[in-house]
Each structure stands twice: as C-alpha cells, then as structure tokens.
C-alpha cells in the first residue's frame, strides 16, 4: 500500500470517529463572529475587553503537548493562534480533538484572546467544532510544493502555502482594476463583444476552431478583444470604447506566450496614433505606481524606469542598423541569407514571417521604455499608412526587449482595406497559418464610413514583465495536460 493510500485510510478512520461521536464533519454553516484580520488589527483591544469571539480557518500548524495544543488557523485574511487545553474544553472534547483532528482540517473555535508567557497573542479555546475534515495531508508551509508540475496541477495548495504567489494574485487583480478605472475616468465606455467569430479579425495568429451545432457551421475563438467589433461601434457613433476579456491563440507556449490570456483593447474616435502614445504612456505609469508602488523595474536582464521619456524607435531603421538589411527593398532570399548568417532559425514561408523574425532578433537588446513606430505595411494590415504607403502609423511600447502592446491610427479607407485583406488571403493560400483572415463585412462597414480612430491593446504580458515572472506563473490555473487517472479516483499516474 502506498503512503498516499495509508494517509487517506488513516484520515478516513478519523472521519468515522468524528461521525460516531455525533459530529457533522461537513456542516453548511459556521458561527464565526470575526475574520481573523479583524481580531489581529485590534488584538490588544480584544485582550483588554476579554471579548468572546468565534474564529475559523484551515489548520496550518498543530503542536500538541500532553494536555494542551497550539494551533495556527488561516481563514484567507490572516493567521491566528488557538490554544487548546484539556481543562478548558473538557477531557472528552479535548481527546476527540487530539485523536481526530489533522493538519489541513477546517475548524472553528470560541474563546477569549489572551497573551501567552512568550508575548504571543492567542485565542484561549473554550469550545470548538470541525467545519471540514480533510482526507489528504497538505505539505508543510516551510517546504511547500517543490515539483513545478505539481505546483501547477495543485494550484490551490501552492496558493495556500506560498505568500508571494498569493500577493501576485492580488496584484494582478489590482492591475486590471487600475486599468479599468483609468479607462472609465478618461471617458471610455466598457463593452462586450463576441468571443465566437466566423472570421478571426484583429490580429495575426492561429485560432482555435470549434463547431456551432445550431447553425451547423465552424466558428473560431477570438484572437483579439473585439477589434473589428469595436471599430463597428466607432461607425455607430460611440466615440470611446474598451473591453477587458479573454483571447485565445492556438500557438506555442513560452515565458511570454500562452494560448489563453486576458487583454484590454480600446478604440478612440477622432484620435490618431500620436494621441494613443500619450495616453498609453500615462496608463502604464499609473499602473506601475498604483499596483507596484514604483516606476522602476528589473526584468529579463533589463532595468528601466517607466517615468523616463519614451523615445521613438524606427522599425525599418533599427533592423537596418542591427543587420544591414533594408526590409523594404530586400528580397526574401536576402533576408533568408541574413537570418542564416545570424544563426537565427526561421520559417521562410512568407516575406511577412521573415521580416518579423528579423525584428525579433533586433528587439531583444532594447531595454526601453520606448515606442516602436513605422512598421512595414505588410505586417500591419489594419493600420493607416504613412504617405507613400510603405510604412504605417503603428506604435508598440517596448520594455525589457519585447513588445507589450500594439496600437494604430486605424485604417478607415475601404479600398485600401480590401487590398490589404486580399494580400493577407494570398499569404493564407501560401500556407501562412498566422496571416489575418479577411472580413469582407468589415470592409462593407468601412464603406458606410468610420471616423479617424486610434486603437490599442495590451495584455497579461505587461503584468508578467513588471512582476518579473514568466507569464504562466501569473495565471491562476494554467492549462495542463491531464494525467492518466486510476479508477479509484486517487492520485494519477503519468
């Protein structure tokens, strides 16, 4: 028999002992009078008043010394110590506690706060009750869960035992709260747009595909947060909109990329990419100060201050400076040879992918903060072109060697947009699965007219960079391949 089975059987015996004693081991209600944090914030007052309170939580530490026990309970707001004595709770009740309660159980206890001889504040327990009997043991707080695969599979335990991770979750919630408040304060209306689409507009990425049974047609999970839908709202007369929601891209996993993530996108009528850059810089600085309490960060080997000036970096010029390649004039063969010379692996199916690979080689040395501008028209099929048509009015914030956002002066010329979509269709036909699917109904909307508009989006990558963590570490429950489970419902087998 494995240790896992032995522990479970022992705890099951204890559960049965509690039931035999007339204890409801999974009651629906609790008589808790205070959160732990409320008592801890005024503990001297509770001691002085000798106020009777009932506290509850999960047992995180359990130290038994003959006829007494010290127990630490955690309720999510704070950890507080309970003192059990055979004298105060009675021999029968104490014996049941001593023999049937384990680390990881949930319990409530009633008593009065006092100060121990060592100066520690504790609740002197006069009565107690089981709230949930656990059938598996939790790791100790000191050691936690060391195996990374187990940490992600049993995220609930990792969150319980890892204060730094719990703080990260709170910071991430604050990150989106600050973002939402900023957008609303600047007059943007929060909207919700479809997550199931007939075509995946707004970005270049491989989508997830599913089938809509009622309509009997294939649809895709969105890869952007309603870009083409929010532009329709610009045409409908809404001057400022934003959405915070989930997006899905059926691509590889890396410290910067996951298949499911949260993004924000905003659209601002009668504004251009210069206006967008000013607003985005203000937003990023506010997020940094409100969430992290600083504008200075170190991430991925780069140290930067978001409060500094953000210079403009020319996309074409930077690649020329770093590689000697003029991506506007160079042939696909020239770009392949340069990438081979640099020792960079690449997918040479299309010109767009070659240009993108050259840029990714160059960006890693840029610390930022900075704005990348003047992208080639080919890599931005939804952005308004500069005069001459070779580059577009696009901007991307750069920090720590990577992009953390993307914005445009949005293309509102239906003739130009149709031509750009036709070029993307040719890329799709050549096998480029990341090329943008044309949305001809969107072109029809543009024929009715859309005002000059700035659009911008960013996602969880910004939070991960500022927190100094891989993107996967900042998600509550990242996707995992399931283990092969046995039929008993016990621990799975690889």
Structural domains of the chain sorted by starting position, each given as residue range(s) with its CATH number in brackets = 3-138 (2.40.50.140), 160-311+368-474 (3.30.930.10)
CB 433 within 8 A of CB 403: no
Please tell me the predicted confidence (pLDDT) of residue 488: 46
- CB contact burial 28-38 (16+ within 10 A = b; e otherwise): eeeebebbbee
Integer Cα distance of 434 and 251 in angstroms? 9
Label the pairing between strands 312-314 and 370-373: parallel
In Å, what is the CA distance from 325 to each residue of 317, 319, 374?
A: 9, 7, 16
In Å, what is the CA distance from 86 to each residue of 58, 93, 122, 125?
A: 21, 8, 16, 10
Q: Which helix (H) or strand (E) holds 427?
A: helix 414-429
Residue 236 pairs in a beta bridge with: none
Please tell me the predicted confidence (pLDDT) of residue 491: 46
Q: What is the CA radius of gyration of the chain?
A: 29
With a cut of 50, list the residues of the chain below it in pLDDT.
Answer: 486-494
What is the 3-class SS of 355-420, one letter each residue? HHHHHHHHHCCCCCCEEEECCEHHHCCCECECCCCCEECEEEEEECCEECCEEEEECCCHHHHHHH
Quickly count: other Cβ atoms within 10 Å of residue 436's Cβ. Answer: 26
Least Cα distance to 393 among 379, 413, 407 occurs for 407
User: Phi/psi class of residue 412: alpha, beta or left (left: φ > 0; alpha: ψ in -120 to 50)?
Assistant: alpha
Q: Where are the beta strands (DSSP E) in 66-184?
A: 68-74, 79-85, 106-115, 121-132
- Extract long-range pairs of 26-32: CB within 8 Å, 24+ residues apart: 26/131, 26/132, 26/133, 27/129, 27/130, 27/131, 30/54, 30/56, 30/108, 30/131, 31/108, 31/110, 31/129, 32/56, 32/75, 32/108
Quickly count: other Cβ atoms within 10 Å of residue 183's Cβ. Answer: 21
Integer Cα distance of 285 and 310 in angstroms? 11
Instruction: Name the one residue in this structure whose structure tokens are 């799975």.
Output: 492
- Kindly tell me the number of DSSP H helices and DSSP E strands found in the chain: 16, 19
Please tell me the predicted confidence (pLDDT) of residue 428: 83
Q: Distance of alpha carbon 67 from its chain centroid, rounded?
A: 47
């Amino acid at each position: 028999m494995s240790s896992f089975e032995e522990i479970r059987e022992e705890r099951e015996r204890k559960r049965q002992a509690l039931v035999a004693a007339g204890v409801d081991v999974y009651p629906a209600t609790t008589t808790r009078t205070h959160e732990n944090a409320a008592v801890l914030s005024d503990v001297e007052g509770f001691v002085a008043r000798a106020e009777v309170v009932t506290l509850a939580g999960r047992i995180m530490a359990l130290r038994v010394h003959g006829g007494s026990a010290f127990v630490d309970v955690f309720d999510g707001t704070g950890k507080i110590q309970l003192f059990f004595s055979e004298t105060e709770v009675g021999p029968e009740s104490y014996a049941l506690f001593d023999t049937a309660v384990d680390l990881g159980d949930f319990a409530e206890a009633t008593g009065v706060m006092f100060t121990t001889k060592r100066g520690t504040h504790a609740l002197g327990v006069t009565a107690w009750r089981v709230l949930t009997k656990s059938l598996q043991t939790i790791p100790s707080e000191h050691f936690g869960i060391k195996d990374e695969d187990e940490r992600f599979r049993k995220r609930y335990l990792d969150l319980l035992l890892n204060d730094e991770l719990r703080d990260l979750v709170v910071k991430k919630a604050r990150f989106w709260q600050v973002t939402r408040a900023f957008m609303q304060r600047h007059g943007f209306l929060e909207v919700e747009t479809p997550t199931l689409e007939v075509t995946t507009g707004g970005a270049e990425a491989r989508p997830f595909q599913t089938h809509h049974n009622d309509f009997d047609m294939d649809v895709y999970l969105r890869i952007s947060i309603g870009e083409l839908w929010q532009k329709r709202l610009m045409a409908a007369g809404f001057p400022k909109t934003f959405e915070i929601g989930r997006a899905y891209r059926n691509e590889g996993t890396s410290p910067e990329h996951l298949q499911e993530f949260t993004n924000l996108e905003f659209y601002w009528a009668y504004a251009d990419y210069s206006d967008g850059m000013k607003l985005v810089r203000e937003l990023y600085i506010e997020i940094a100060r409100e969430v992290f309490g600083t504008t200075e960060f170190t991430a991925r080997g780069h140290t930067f201050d978001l409060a500094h000036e953000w210079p403009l970096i020319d996309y074409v010029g930077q690649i020329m400076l770093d590689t000697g390649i003029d991506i506007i004039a160079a042939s696909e063969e020239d770009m392949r040879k340069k990438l081979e010379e640099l020792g960079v692996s690449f997918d040479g199916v299309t010109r767009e992918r070659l240009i993108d690979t050259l840029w990714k080689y160059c960006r890693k040395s840029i610390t930022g903060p900075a704005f990348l501008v003047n992208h080639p028209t080919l890599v931005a099929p939804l952005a308004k072109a500069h005069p001459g048509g070779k580059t577009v009015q696009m901007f991307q914030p750069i920090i720590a060697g990577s992009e953390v956002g993307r914005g445009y002066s949005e293309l509102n010329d239906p003739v130009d947009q149709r031509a750009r979509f036709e070029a993307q269709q040719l890329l799709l036909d050549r096998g480029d699965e990341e090329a943008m699917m044309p949305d001809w109904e969107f072109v029809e909307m543009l024929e009715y007219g859309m005002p000059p508009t700035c659009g911008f989006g960013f996602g969880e990558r910004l939070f991960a960079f500022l927190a100094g963590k891989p993107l996967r570490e900042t998600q509550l429950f990242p996707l995992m391949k399931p283990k092969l489970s046995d039929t008993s419902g016990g621990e799975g087998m690889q």
